Amino acid sequence: MKSTLLSFALLIVCSLNIIGQAFTSSTLPIIKITVSNSRTIANEPKVLAIMEIIDNGKGKTNALTDKANIYNGKIGIEYRGSTSQDLFPKKPYGIELWADSAGTKTVKSALFGFPEESDWILNATYNDKTFMRDVLAYSISNKLGRYATRSKYCEVFINGKYEGIYILMEKIKKDKGRVDISTLKKTDITGDDVTGGYILKIDKGTGSGRSKSFTNTNATDFGNFRTEYFIDYPNAFDITDQQYNYIKTYVTDFENSLKAADFLSPDAKWRKLANIDSFVDYLIITEINKNVDGYRLSTYFYKDKDSKGGKLTMGPAWDYNLAWGNADYYEGYVISGWMYDAQKQAVASGDFFAPPFWWYRLTTDTTFNNKLGRRWRNLRQNVLKTDNVHKYIDSTANELRIPAGRNFEKWPVLGKKIWPNYYVGNTYQDEINWMKDWIRLRLDWMDGKLEKFGAVLSTDSPFDNQKYLKIFPNPSNEVTMIEYEVFSKGQVLINVYDQKGGLVETLVDEIKNVGKFQTKPSKKYNAGLYIIDYQIDNLPMERAKMIKQ
């Protein structure tokens, strides 16, 4: 089989075309995957293929005719993901480096100089037209000192067919170079041995057949939904009853203490069970981009042995393609509001993937908020300085601009709404500019909330408790005044919509300087519920309800 696969690979290298345009080289690394003629890539199991990776180094061109110099060998490949695998034609892949054709033995390799491992991911980023949302979040997390997956942009061919830009990424797993926690053997069932390490995640059950799970005993503060926790390491075949009961009890003790009436006490048990600094950083990483899956899906946390200071630690950060304003639901596109709070809409809408109640409790604790305020102000001076974030985006966009053109020829998604896009740009630069503006205004909004030392975060819905848009009196049967605050000069647009989404009236459409302003409806409205939509430079700021009696 090896000779068949390799001869097929040699044949396809001779002529590779992209929508009629000959592809000969790229400034990005090139990955060529050749699957046996008799096999088809599916969700599972992995099928045998040969993978070749060409990368001549930064600033150098990689040609299809170059010899593979990063990896040239067998792999097992399958589809991965849940929604992305089912909805989109550009598929994400899971890859395992194999030492034999049957996949009975794996091999580790230090791809692109990353710590050597056998498990890797090819992320398709189909509905993120910037290709950056995941990579940007992981970069920030690593700069915060919190491990997140390393990644590398590549252009990928499968069986001679161009598939576009992909991101080769590390898979989250227990490893010295990834989640560096203690190995847990089946014999580790008592004393310090049983206390770690464990990796847990909050996610859909899809693809979790190798994971045991348990459900929390405390419902959320706003409904009866309970969060399911999957034990990612050790897997279901390796974990013992003693280990399962230990980590379940540990998480339950943390939750019971956090839910207790005296949870604000300096001696509350949850403070000793959790790495609070990691919770602070995780909230910042999730909130700067309002990840609609943050806290409730694709959320990892882990615990090492007690002898190694093992406490519940949030992370690694994972899955941010629906972040940075890229989702049209759960207020993910709105500049203001806390995502941990906005997601009570998930429960109200019958979404069974609700976040744990932890964040509602933590953000009412003075000690937690003191840490959050100090950490935020420090990060805004360097890692989260707006100019620094924008420079990273611009640099990455320049690196991707020509390959992006090829990708969008293959997958013509520009100018089209791909679920769940809120903004749809006509060009690659449109997408980049919109994301940069969204980030600038989001960071400004968080400054206003976190600038005071120890400020207590609001736990009200951002839909009902507006900061930049106030309506008074409300409800009203006479004249209603609308006060709005502009904290960044720009084109202000305030529209009024009826319950069916029909435009009733445009109240403001002009450039405004920083300051507070007032406006009012120019006509009398019929009794009913109306929505006030406030935008600056086409970016959503607030939405508020106005009731006319």
Residue 54 has which token pair? 């060409």
Given this model, what pLDDT does residue 87 score?
86
Q: Taken in order 444, 450, 452, 455, is the CA torsion positive or negative?
A: positive
Given this model, what pLDDT does residue 14 score?
37
CATH no. of 469-548: 2.60.40.1930
Residues forming a β-bridge with 485:
516
Residue 226 has which token pair? 């309970």
Task: List phi, psi (to 5°) of 273.
Answer: -95, -15
Residues of the chain short of pLDDT 70, as ranges, are: 1-21, 207-209, 218-224, 343, 347-348, 452-467
Assess contact for 266 and 215: CB atoms under 8 A.
no
Residue 207 has which token pair? 């693809």
Report CA-CA distances (Å) from 193 to 214, 243, 545.
22, 10, 55
The C-alpha R_g of the chain, in whole angstroms, comes to 25
Residue 163 has which token pair? 């598939």
Indicate left, alpha or beta for 373 from its phi (over 0: left) and psi (-120 to 50: alpha): alpha
- Diameter over CA atoms, the chain: 83
Report CA-CA distances (Å) from 63 to 55, 67, 133.
9, 9, 28
Given this model, what pLDDT does residue 295 score?
93
| 3 state SS for 42-59 | CCCCCEEEEEEEECCCCC
Alpha carbons 47 and 76: distance in angstroms, whole number: 5
Find the length of the chain: 549
Domain extents in the chain: 2-170, 191-379, 469-548
